[in-house]
Amino acid sequence: MSKTSRRDIILALGALGILPGAARAQTRTRRQAQPGRGKVEPFSWDLLKARAAALASQPYRAPAKVAAAEAIDYDAVGSITYKPDRTLAGGIRLFPLGRYAPTPVAIHIVEGGQARAVDFAPDLFQATAGHHAALGLAGFRAVSPDGKSDWMAYIGASYFRTAGSQDQYGLSARGIAIDTGIDGKEEFPAFTAFWIEPNGAQAYTIYALLDGPSVTGAYRFLCRHTAGSGAAGGVVQDVSSTITLRKDVARLGIAPATSMFWYGEGNRAAAVDWRPEIHDSDGLAMASGSGERIWRPLDNPATPTLDSFQDSNPRGFGLIQRDRAFDHYQDDGAFYDRRPNLWVEPKGDWGKGAVTLYAFPTASETVDNVAAFWVPAAPAKAGQTLTFDYRLTWASRDASVAAAAHVVDTWRGAAGRPGSAPTAGARKLVVDFVGTTLAGLDRSSGVTAQVDVGRGRVLANAAYPVVGQPNRWRVTVDIEPERGAIADVRLYLKRGTLSLSETLLTQIGA
């Protein structure tokens, strides 16, 4: 995962008010063309898949960047805006090129099986006096009916994101992840061309052509923004993808999500900023093929980490922002309490593989340092064509929560009895669960914590209801890792042989 590449993307996002990016397309700038007045060609999903397959048989050619875009820095690109009266397809507006999005993309509007190219012209945009004019098209966004906000954006390699149900951007998704977490090998294939088909109010089918050194692909996104405020509503995208490999790929990441975790209540020592917590997501949630619900709190590691959770035909996984209390962040500008969750639901038979979580250290909120994706168990070999269908749900509602109690908070601190000297070489883990499966239970109900530790041992543990908090239980565990090791912890609430909660997976160092 390239820090530089991701930092550039985040900087571009801020400059545009959303995202920024890169891909490929036409570079015509001479004509003062109007949007939607370009060449018309037949278009269909089958034609796009055929085009992607044909592209895979050709050597990869990196798209040309516009050199002059280097001069349009973070501030300058924010001074260039798409003219509202040029809005396309009932709510599509375009992004200009800039330093962090220097490669043009091709954009088409589809109607009745015909695709009309959107020719670039500088007068599609307006710039603040004294700033650079637009040089090309970098991507697009879908705006709300009143034109005052937007709810979906595609720009930057194969990155895209939505504003969820609370009109607030946060984490991003990607079309594909190639060798993420392998030093010096990660690739960023790009969506080089888009075809946008309106499907009614706040609904579009987005088609995209993917190209990169190791892979080509055809993507179809059925996107709809559902009504609702607060925890209700959100954005749903039904994704169909067909990819063909030009080369062998060591780590092929399907349905990847990219997020940021700087610090939270579990690593308070990292809180150098005045705000109590700063993160776009606070955990990786999984629903395994066997039905087990798993929660892995995110961390800002001291060194890069890679965790693989083996599974077969997973029911879902995603990066989630469970903590939605404003006073836990105190941020009335970035609004981390409003950041959307992203839940991935595979369709069809995905077979054996692993949900994979990669993270590297960050000292800033401008760097996306967390990625989660599915890695098929079968080797990804040159010449293969693979298909994956799945649903993406962007919302404040936590789709990962089922009937069992779920984790709402985790803390770490000194091991031992409060008020006494800390236990040397050990740490305390505190976990709170909430859920209706805990209703009516008390200290006499036989509820215990099942705690399993690898590369370490449990010194003490307790499970009990939190006073004055309905359906909320707390587990405290003192763990002594093996000398020089990081202990793997697996923890859940049970009553006899009956599991009452999802399973927490985490790691503890001395």
- CA 229 distance to own-chain centroid: 21
* Whole-number pLDDT of residue 130: 72
Distance CA 401, CA 409 (A): 14
Residues 243 and 355 in one domain: yes
β-pair type (472-481, 498-499): unpaired
* Whole-number pLDDT of residue 9: 53
Q: What is the number of other CB atoms lying within 10 angstroms of the CB of residue 177?
A: 29
Rounded average pLDDT over 129-152:
91
Rounded average pLDDT over 471-495:
97
pLDDT confidence tier of residue 231, bands split at 50, 70 and 90: low
Residues 238 and 329 in one domain: yes
Residues 272 and 320 in one domain: yes
Rg, C-alpha atoms of the chain:
24
Cβ contact 485:455 at 8 Å: yes
pLDDT confidence tier of residue 132, bands split at 50, 70 and 90: confident
Please identify, among 367, 395, 423, the residue that sits at the C-terminal boundary of a domain. Answer: 395
**Both tokens assigned to 338:** 């409003």
* Whole-number pLDDT of residue 229: 55
Task: Tell me the pLDDT tens digit for each residue of 374-383.
Answer: 999 999 999 9
- Residue 28 inside a domain? The answer is yes
Rounded average pLDDT over 276-304:
97
Task: Tell me the pLDDT tens digit for each residue of 85-113.
Answer: 999 999 999 999 999 899 999 999 999 99
Residues 432 and 306 in one domain: no
Residues 99 and 160 in one domain: yes
Distance CA 287, CA 473 (A): 22
Q: Flag whether the pTM goes above 0.75.
A: yes
- Residue 160 inside a domain? The answer is yes
Residues near 54 by Cβ (< 8 Å), separated by ≥ 6? none
Asked whether residue 16 carries a pLDDT value surpassing 70, the answer given is no
**Both tokens assigned to 509:** 């160092």
Residues 389 and 444 in one domain: no
Asked whether residue 11 carries a pLDDT value surpassing 70, the answer given is no
Query: 14 — phi, psi (to 5°)?
Result: -60, -40
Task: Tell me the pLDDT tens digit for each residue of 342-374.
Answer: 999 999 999 999 999 999 999 999 999 999 999
Rounded average pLDDT over 238-252:
98
**Both tokens assigned to 59:** 């050597």
Beta-strand ranges (E) seen in 33-186 are 40-42, 80-82, 92-96, 106-111, 114-117, 125-127, 137-143, 150-154, 159-162, 172-174, 176-178
Distance CA 224, CA 247 (A): 35
Q: How many domains does the chain have?
A: 2
CATH number at residue 424: 2.60.40.10
- Domain with 446, as residue range(s), is 406-508
Residue owning tokens 């109900």: 445
Least-confidence region, from 48-62, 174-188, 194-208, 263-277: 263-277
Asked whether residue 307 carries a pLDDT value surpassing 90, the answer given is yes
β-pair type (106-111, 190-198): parallel
* Residues in the chain, total: 510
Residues 285 and 426 in one domain: no
- Residue 400 inside a domain? The answer is no
Name which of 32, 268, 88, 281 is nearest 169 in CA terms.
Answer: 281
Distance CA 495, CA 433 (A): 14
Distance CA 93, CA 88 (A): 6
- Residue 154 inside a domain? The answer is yes
CATH number at residue 333: 2.70.98.10
pLDDT confidence tier of residue 232, bands split at 50, 70 and 90: low
Please identify, among 348, 366, 395, the residue that sits at the C-terminal boundary of a domain. Answer: 395
Task: Tell me the pLDDT tens digit for each residue of 31-71.
Answer: 334 555 689 999 999 999 999 999 999 999 999 999 999 99
Residues 463 and 363 in one domain: no
- Residue 348 inside a domain? The answer is yes
* Whole-number pLDDT of residue 36: 56
Please identify, among 371, 395, 419, the residue that sits at the C-terminal boundary of a domain. Answer: 395
Asked whether residue 6 carries a pLDDT value surpassing 60, the answer given is no
Residue owning tokens 């937007």: 150
pLDDT confidence tier of residue 326, bands split at 50, 70 and 90: very high
Asked whether residue 128 carries a pLDDT value surpassing 90, the answer given is no
- CA 122 distance to own-chain centroid: 32
- Residue 401 inside a domain? The answer is no
Residues 118 and 229 in one domain: yes
**Both tokens assigned to 73:** 């820095």
Task: Tell me the pLDDT tens digit for each residue of 382-423.
Answer: 999 999 999 999 999 999 998 899 999 999 999 999 889 999
Residues 25 and 128 in one domain: yes
Distance CA 395, CA 295 (A): 18
Residues 164 and 302 in one domain: yes
Task: Tell me the pLDDT tens digit for each residue of 159-180.
Answer: 999 999 999 999 999 999 999 9
Q: What is the number of other CB atoms lying within 10 angstroms of the CB of residue 272?
A: 9
